[in-house]
Amino acid sequence: MRASIGQTKNEWIMPNTGYEAITASINSQYDISDKISLGAVVKYNNRWSDNLPSTGYNNGSIAYFMIFQNPNVDLDWYRNIWQEGQENIQQIQPFSSYIDNPYLIAYESLNTLDSHQIIGNINANIKLAPHFNLMLRTAINTYNQEREQKRPYSINRYAEGYYQAQDVFKQEINSDFLLSYENQFNDFSLSASVGGNNRTEKRRLNNASVTGLVVPDVYKLSNGKNAPTLYTSDQNKEVNSLYGLITWSYKDQIFLDVTGRNDWSSTLPKENWSFFYPSANTSLILSDIFNFQGNTVSYLKYRFSYAQVGNDTDPYQTRKYYSQNSFPSSATVPSTLYNRDFKPEISTSYETGIEARLLNNRINLDATIYQISTKNQIIAVPLNWNTGYSSAILNAGEVRNRGIELTLNGNLLESSNFSWNTTLTWSKNWGKVFDLPDNIENQYIIDQGGQASLIAKVGESPTAIYGYGFVRSPDGQIVYDTGGLPAYPESGDIQYIGDALPDWRGGLYNELSFGNFDFNFTIDGQYGGIIYSQTHHKLTQQGKLTSTFMGREGMTIVGDGVVLNEDGTYSPNTTEVATQEWYNRYYRRANVESNSFDASYLKLREVSLRYNFPQKWLGNSGIQNLQLSAFGRNLIMVTDFPIYDPETAALNGNRIMPGVEIGQMPSPATYGFNLKMNL
């Protein structure tokens, strides 16, 4: 039996945000007889927070504040939060009421959380007979979360405040059995098992909110100006599975695993709710089989695998349900079209590779190539509203990804007091859309952010970014209109701007040690890929970037480009325009071309220096070893990408859209010390 208890406190870089947690667990094992053992695990987790930060491109986030704040406003002017005599009623917003006071966001506009989670299972292991084992287990994972959103008076979205109380109950119960057989026949070893699983998931959300508070700063539903608006939602599903696994091996040189699994999911239409997916996996230790271990090649392994993975989806998508509406006895037509007969998602992957250790293990090589085809992914494909819906649940055709991953490791130097180990990694992926959903012609929009769209077209990359660009003359110059501004493209003239996926990624990891010092550093990066930056557009428009110095002296610009003459020829643009007008047009939000940038970067990801205290210093202190280290992460970044770290730029709140940056928190560098002691 084991028991543990732990407490954590986490503070984020934003003031007044973070969470605390207490975890307690108990794990016991009991042998009833030499054939039967019972076990139980219970883990309790309590997590609470006075304020979880709001993120994303909206009034509630600090990132948004940073984009729109007036650079010549002293942040201390904001610090008192409330205007004198108007405490809790009117915030201080020097010069612009467009953005909220950042101290108001941090200290008054709060998102609280109180979460209680219990994870536990009881299990039994029964030795049925020699070589036969039966495992029975039921596991539960349940939590109850209370969340609140408190919004003070005068905040942008809620002039008279807002309060929301939310209860989330979630429960997942898994019951499974696994019958396994294991045996050894001379050089062969064999294990086989069959198992089954029943999983039920329940999720219930109760939400009550009031818009407008009678008394400022009192966050209770009964303090609402109107009766609370209620919203309830459930998400229930059940999945049953049966599976089998057989593993053979010969002399520990040849390995073969074969699996098969069938799932039944309640979320799928009846005809398709049962789906099967197999896998096979083999590896051969060639150096043993052909017996050529030596100094040059000490180990060589070949592996090949084929695997399918099936997936279901969220519940309630097979029938039409009207959306709840806050008018009494009212509803609206849902915006997503249900689907009576979609299929489960299946992805099929092939992977093969070698692993080699050369020159007395001085050089290690690992090389893999893979292909993953994802078929029938269940997604909400955007539709034009002229169909009556903004999206439809569809099977998304087929997308194929192929790639290479290489790892080369070398012990470059090794002596009694100096060693240097280095690892080089390199990877490349090619993505291609193979097939569109049934009924979808030509193309569909996978996702949109800012004014950039990811559009799927057969034969093209699934991470291709499209949008409006410049109008260009046949020789590639930017065409200006008669007003002296870059001309608007024709409506509907959407261009391919670039691919969000990099051409390749690489990394270099180094471990050096000399005497009692260990020194590690990691450099990595990517080459290629583009990101559309909405923040760049916003800051350029406001003239907040050093790249907008051009044209400030005379406050006019004659844009570099051509104008289309009436006879169809082009001549240089000579029209002078106000500087602000030029930036407004050139980097307008809808110009995905001018606001997209190469996302290549090279990053010094981590550096650490560790000192191992010599044994003789520790003497008889009882300490076996003592290490002191200093580290820094995310230290240097070399990139042409503006404002943000291109690696994290495309994280938008909790949603990731490759290739689109919409106002993210900058990624911080971290530094620290670490003292480690073993007794």
Partner 1 sequence: MNKNKSLLFSLLAVLLIAACTNEFDEINSDPNRIEEVSPATLLNPIIYGLATHNIGRANAITFDLMQVSLPFPSVSGGLHRYDVSMGIGNSSWNNYYKWLKNIQEMKAAADAREDENYQAIALTLQAYVYANLTDLFGPVPITEAVMAEDGILYPDFDSQESIYDKILEDLETANALYNPEESMVYMEDILFQNDVEKWQRFTNSLHMRLLLRISNRSETNAFQKLTEMVNNPEIYPVFENTEESAILQVTGVEPNVSPWGRPQDFRLSTKITSFFIDNLNEWNDPRRPIIATMASETDEDQNTINIGYKGIPSAYTGPESQFTYNASTFNIEQVTNPMQIFLLTYAEVEFIKAELAQRGFIEDAQTHYRNGVVAAMEQLGVEEVPEDYFENPAVAYNGTLEQIMLQKYYALYFTDYQQWFEYRRTGYPELPTTESMFNDGVMPSRLYYPTDLAIENSEGYAQGVEMLGGSDDINTKVWWDQ
Binders of partner 1 in range 428-447 (CB under 8 A):
439-445
* Binding of partner 1 by 534 (CB under 8 A): no
Binds partner 1 by CB under 8 A, chosen from 4, 70, 83, 330: 330
DSSP 71-135: TTS-GGGGTT-BPTT-TTT-B--SS-SSS--HHHHHHTSEEEEEEEEEEEEEEEEEEEETTEEEE
- Cβ-based neighbour number of residue 200 at 10 Å: 15
Distance separating alpha carbons of residues 176 and 166, to the nearest angstrom: 33
DSSP category for residue 240: E
DSSP category for residue 653: T
Please give, one letter per residue, the 3-state secondary structure of 292-309. CCCCCEEEEEEEEEEEEE
* Binding of partner 1 by 361 (CB under 8 A): no
* Binding of partner 1 by 337 (CB under 8 A): yes
Footprint (CB under 8 A) of partner 1, residues 270-309: 270, 273-274
Q: Which is nearer to partner 1, 291 or 329 (CB)?
A: 329
Distance separating alpha carbons of residues 562 and 65, to the nearest angstrom: 38
What is the CA angle 129-132-137, rounded to 5?
A: 110
- Cβ-based neighbour number of residue 6 at 10 Å: 10
Footprint (CB under 8 A) of partner 1, residues 51-110: 97-98
Terminal-residue alpha carbon distance, the chain: 23
Q: Which stretch binds partner 1 (CB under 8 A): 69-77, 174-182, 407-415, 619-627?
A: 174-182
Q: Which stretch binds partner 1 (CB under 8 A): 4-12, 86-94, 325-333, 616-624?
A: 325-333
Which residues, listed in sequence order, are joined to residue 661 by a DSSP beta bridge? Answer: 533
Q: What is the dihedral of CA 569, 571, 576, 581, to 10 degrees?
A: 50
CB of 202 to partner 1, least distance (A): 10
Contact 284, 253 (CB under 8 A): yes
* Binding of partner 1 by 554 (CB under 8 A): no
Contact 104, 155 (CB under 8 A): yes
> 573: closest CA among 583, 560, 586?
560
534-541 and 579-586 helices, crossing angle to 10°: 170
Footprint (CB under 8 A) of partner 1, residues 1-40: none
Q: Which is nearer to partner 1, 327 or 673 (CB)?
A: 327
* Binding of partner 1 by 259 (CB under 8 A): no
Distance separating alpha carbons of residues 61 and 665, to the nearest angstrom: 9
* Binding of partner 1 by 465 (CB under 8 A): no
Contact map string, positions 557 to 596, toward partner 1, x by CB under 8 A: ---------------------x-xx--xx----x------
Binds partner 1 by CB under 8 A, chosen from 78, 163, 275, 468: 468
Contact 430, 369 (CB under 8 A): no
CB of 157 to partner 1, least distance (A): 6
* Binding of partner 1 by 639 (CB under 8 A): no
Binds partner 1 by CB under 8 A, chosen from 459, 492, 568, 619: 492
CB of 339 to partner 1, least distance (A): 10
Distance separating alpha carbons of residues 397 and 437, to the nearest angstrom: 4
Q: Which is nearer to partner 1, 299 or 496 (CB)?
A: 496
Q: Which is nearer to partner 1, 43 or 204 (CB)?
A: 204
Q: Which stretch binds partner 1 (CB under 8 A): 20-28, 41-49, 261-269, 502-510?
A: 261-269
Which residues, listed in sequence order, are joined to residue 61 by a DSSP beta bridge? Answer: none
Q: Token pair of 637, please?
A: 């970044």
Q: Which is nearer to partner 1, 227 or 369 (CB)?
A: 227
Q: Which stretch binds partner 1 (CB under 8 A): 370-378, 451-459, 594-602, 641-649?
A: 451-459
* Binding of partner 1 by 321 (CB under 8 A): yes
* Binding of partner 1 by 496 (CB under 8 A): no
Q: What is the largest CA-CA distance in the chain?
A: 98
Q: Which is nearer to partner 1, 409 or 540 (CB)?
A: 540
- Cβ-based neighbour number of residue 182 at 10 Å: 14
Q: How many helices (H) and strands (E) does the chain have?
A: 6, 39
Contact map string, positions 214 to 253, toward partner 1, x by CB under 8 A: ------------xx-x--xxx-xxx-x-x-----------
CB of 557 to partner 1, least distance (A): 13
Footprint (CB under 8 A) of partner 1, residues 371-410: 382-390, 392
Footprint (CB under 8 A) of partner 1, residues 124-153: 128-129, 132, 134
Q: Which stretch binds partner 1 (CB under 8 A): 63-71, 267-275, 535-543, 615-623?
A: 267-275
Count of positions on this chain that bind partner 1 (CB under 8 A):
90
CB of 265 to partner 1, least distance (A): 8
